[in-house]
Structure 1
């Protein structure tokens, strides 16, 4: 028989040993950690109120024996930990509600809770706030979407009434590619070992089998892309303010997912939405391979478009370096754009003999709409009076103003025009030479402090598709990558606050409700 060669026999035997080793691991171990897994166990469940006999030890007095409302009180201490093989981010909790987990205490009512964490992970306590979803009602405690590195844990101490010690306790919730399961500790220090002795021995055997098998079988050239990737062509259009992020996202996705081509063709937010709507209508039931990024929501203009909140983008005023000011009030900015102030020396400490030049965006720009709504109080900018920002063509105009078609052109014009002022999103990298940012009402533009400050010049960035794209399409894959996958790191790197983060979720939800 042709297949009965020495190589094939060794390959079959090695494969069989590998299967046996795998089954042995399952037999020796009570569980196999999933990629993402949360484990929990009850470390304490005891009455704390009534006096009771404890055998030869005598009598134990309850802590709350003088409070009739707590006559049947019990204390439960729960340890909740990441005992899987991968870190768990807040986006890995799959429930639609704000909270991530629920701890249910059958037949008992929750009266109070306290949360503790180890000293090396006390930062976890910052997530346990009502705004992040922490609350209790009836027999249930609702826990926030707490990010946990591998092996990290926190403890939940719960004061209960009703029921009895030993009543069922369950922790549940949705975890991407994993789940929530009860576990147990096998060591006195309450820390389970990473691998048992049997597991280590079988792992060595399995590794030897795999190495032998790999040395026999010819490695094929075709390498499958990571899970969730899709092949094809996709275009990203819309916001020029978000263009640097979109370009880095496209490059990273194409590196991770071979066979995909993602092109960024940024124009302006409204133009991108218009193109997406037109191409979707022309597809007659199909979804075009196009995603439009927009600095502003679509309102009711394009009912067929589906929006997803991406991140909170922070914007800032920029001026030419010859303008020595570092701060403007909202009223001063409005006076400048109304034409009430036409030279910088009309402001306290402003430079002399330097006219104010407004480098603005064209109609259709989401950044321009945000500036109008958030800073100018809804008042439209006056008509432009210059084609190139170098010469004031309309001498009778109250303002010296030009319009530009991209954020990059605004920055370049402000850098090269003495006395120029403009607006742009806050970019993570350094501003061009010759430009500096202004604080507004004494508040600096920063995604790190936006949740706790009154800085007004910010908006949510949206991603739009025409209807719901097919789950297997490149549009759906890239959108998932942007909102929940590796693209989140790119968004953060460029100085934006993802809507999936705890602070970003609060801001994005608030803006959506307005």
Structure 2
């Protein structure tokens, strides 16, 4: 008798509708999968994963002759159908040729196969011990007949000349009972979708939404977090310049993974890296501390050998001055003269009769180290000479220079003191009242400067962990979210160039990018 009300609840009209709807959704999903596998048949897809200009002075290509408009293209060729493609499925009359890659307006200089999956595919590109099946002539690359199971792929790295990037690229060739077609371009390491967009949309909408609805009504359980979420607590320390965007990423992660807590407590790049190393030493080799240290630029060579670096984004910085200073541009030579103490008044630079007040960061600051390396040519800043940033500690001091703990303090002090000059991350400077950003050698510190190697005041932002965090840890999940997930959009919105994008890949692989000459 006690069970009857419960059964009545389960057989309510709402629950019956939910159950029937869920069954329909699952049935439609199975039908979509069956239809997709049946009609796709044999198919080879291709997509351009990278198409960039090549600097002739790049050490990777220094052995090749200097060529005009040199470009580098990475092509991915994949079996995106439902059936195997065998050697005999290719229909070209030339038995040694399967597919032809053609470039509009460009001339092929060299071509090589890279990253075959599985690796055994590489054997199909060798005609003999001394002959390769990958040939090129004029604007074409000829590929051998490579057997591919569903989901298998290989990539071509091709160097071209004589034309601009993103010119037309086409692959032609016959597949008996199948087709060769272009696919949507996606980031380099992303796998192609198993199903077409309509089928994915129908499957997701009917299966996930309806099943979750039925589960909420009948079982009454909360919707679980995304599969890649991790639980626990994580501390992000280090760079104050990078702290604002890390706080946004932390809040976004917590909103998607509600059983996690990510605290951003920026204290300066060097101090954050040092504290991470100390925490790792205390916990020992068996357990990695739940800490990530952000650093403006890499840690010193040879220091903290147990730390593992992860390149996050290219970050741009700016030289800022008080609004009362009408100077808008400084050359690298003038900046160095100011920080040597050779120029101590703005009237020497066409400005008002005001002493130049140097508002700097402490020695733990990564921004200060970047300013020293990129702008001051490796020379350090003058000694600390002022406690209040406006009066000398001693009449014999040549300059007035103070040191502050954070980017926000630097910007606030420069805005408050007439004649003050300092440095900051670009977006923080642009949004601060009372300061103006200065061009350096005529180059503007706009947010897009991160993509322009000619602007000298840029650096790579690093995330450091104590060793490699376990795959199921909150540190690993949060790093993946930041580097390859939703965090990329927040990095871009913050004026930074994510390293794991086609545009950022090349900049983040250049350790000297943006260095002053």
TM-score (norm 2): 0.69
SS for the counterpart of 2:327 is coil
Q: Provide the residue aligned with 1:292 in structure 2.
A: 293
Q: 1:176 to 1:257 in 2, by over 3 A?
A: farther
Deviation sequence 1:219-256 (CA, Å, 0-9, x none): 52422111211111111100011111111111111111
SS for the counterpart of 2:511 is helix
Give the CA deviation at 1:390: 2.3
SS for the counterpart of 1:448 is helix
Q: Provide the residue aligned with 1:125 in structure 2.
A: none
Deviates more, 1:432-441 or 1:420-429: 420-429
CA distance in 1 between partners of 2:238 and 2:430 (Å):
24
Tell me, yes or no, if structure 1 residue 283 matches structure 2 residue 280. no
Q: Provide the residue aligned with 1:232 in structure 2.
A: 232
SS for the counterpart of 1:422 is strand
Match of 1:341 among 330, 340, 343: 343
Runs of 5+ consecutive residues of structure 1 not aligned to the other structure? 49-70, 79-93, 116-135, 145-152, 184-191
Q: Provide the residue aligned with 1:501 in structure 2.
A: 501
Q: Is the 1:415–1:434 contact (alpha carbons within 8 Å) kept by the matching residues of 2?
A: yes
Match of 1:109 among 134, 142, 160: 134
Q: Is the 2:97–2:142 contact (alpha carbons within 8 Å) kept by the matching residues of 1?
A: no
Q: 1:245 to 1:18 in 2, by over 3 A?
A: closer
CA distance in 2 between partners of 1:498 and 1:476 (Å):
17
Give the CA deviation at 1:473: 0.9
Q: Provide the residue aligned with 1:119 in structure 2.
A: none
Deviation sequence 1:236-284 (CA, Å, 0-9, x none): 1000111111111111111111111111110011110111011111112
Runs of 5+ consecutive residues of structure 2 not aligned to the other structure? 41-46, 48-77, 103-113, 128-132, 145-153, 159-165
CA distance in 1 between partners of 2:324 and 2:216 (Å):
71
SS for the counterpart of 2:136 is strand
Q: Provide the residue aligned with 1:251 in structure 2.
A: 251
SS for the counterpart of 1:393 is coil
Q: Provide the residue aligned with 1:124 in structure 2.
A: none
Q: Provide the residue aligned with 1:27 in structure 2.
A: 34
Give the CA deviation at 1:137: 9.0
Q: Provide the residue aligned with 2:325 in structure 1.
A: 323
Q: 1:356 to 1:470 in 2, by over 3 A?
A: same
Match of 2:156 among 114, 137, 142: 142
Residues 50-61 of structure 1: pairs in structure 2 closer than 5 A: none
Deviation sequence 1:56-76 (CA, Å, 0-9, x none): xxxxxxxxxxxxxxx998874
SS for the counterpart of 2:367 is helix
Give the CA deviation at 1:444: 1.0
Deviation sequence 1:363-385 (CA, Å, 0-9, x none): 11100100001000000111111
CA distance in 1 between partners of 2:486 and 2:224 (Å):
18
CA distance in 1 between partners of 2:438 and 2:216 (Å):
66
Q: Provide the residue aligned with 2:511 in structure 1.
A: 511
Residues 152-301 of structure 1: pairs in structure 2 closer than 5 A: 156-158=169-171, 178-179=191-192, 194=198, 210=210, 214=214, 217-218=217-218, 220-284=220-284, 285-298=286-299, 299-301=301-303
Give the CA deviation at 1:397: 1.1
Q: Is the 2:320–2:421 contact (alpha carbons within 8 Å) kept by the matching residues of 1?
A: yes
CA distance in 2 between partners of 1:258 and 1:19 (Å):
29
Give the CA deviation at 1:17: 5.8
How many residues are matched? Answer: 423
Q: 1:480 to 1:276 in 2, by over 3 A?
A: same
SS for the counterpart of 1:30 is helix
Deviation sequence 1:338-367 (CA, Å, 0-9, x none): 0000101012x222x200000011111100
Deviation sequence 1:314-351 (CA, Å, 0-9, x none): 1110000111011000000000000000101012x222
CA distance in 1 between partners of 2:488 and 2:26 (Å):
38
CA distance in 1 between partners of 2:439 and 2:92 (Å):
56
CA distance in 2 between partners of 1:303 and 1:32 (Å):
55
CA distance in 2 between partners of 1:169 and 1:428 (Å):
52
Deviates more, 1:443-452 or 1:273-282: 443-452
Deviation sequence 1:135-184 (CA, Å, 0-9, x none): x697586269xxxxxxxx99743589xxx997999999998785477x9x
SS for the counterpart of 1:27 is helix
Q: Provide the residue aligned with 2:434 in structure 1.
A: 434
SS for the counterpart of 1:396 is coil
CA distance in 1 between partners of 2:355 and 2:338 (Å):
11
SS for the counterpart of 2:218 is coil
Q: Is the 1:429–1:494 contact (alpha carbons within 8 Å) kept by the matching residues of 2?
A: no
